[in-house]
Amino acid sequence: MTSTEVLVIVGGVALGYWLVAVVWPLLSGRDNASSTSDDGERPWHEVLGVPANADRATIDAAHQSKRAEHLPERIAHLSAEARAQAQRRRMQIDRAYAQAMRQFG
């Protein structure tokens, strides 16, 4: 075996490892981000941090304050993973708010 063949084999192994270790989790995390979260297990009032019998004004205020914590402008300096987590959290907060509003009619 020549040194060129060894170099090609080592390069292929390194590239394969990088694809599996770095790229694959990023791609698979994007596809099933909603299926790995625990959104369905927590009731809306726990997500928003209000009592279950809270009035609409309290729910509105909690939604606005929770959402403001995860605004893209506030987390722009963080890593891509942290920004993705914040986006998932914003979606969870919005879903909880929508569920609360459905209960109010």
- Whether pTM > 0.75 for this model: the answer is no
What pLDDT is stored for residue 35 in this prediction? 39
Rounded to an integer, what distance in angstroms lies between the CA atom of residue 26 and that of residue 4?
A: 32
Q: For 36-104, which CATH class?
A: mainly alpha
pLDDT at 32 > cutoff 70: no
Mean pLDDT, rounded, for 82-96: 90
Q: Per-residue pLDDT tens for 40-50?
A: 568 999 999 99
Rounded to an integer, what distance in angstroms lies between the CA atom of residue 15 and that of residue 41?
A: 39
Domain boundaries, the chain: 1-31, 36-104
What pLDDT is stored for residue 30 in this prediction? 53
Torsion of CA 25, 27, 32, 36, to 10 degrees: 20
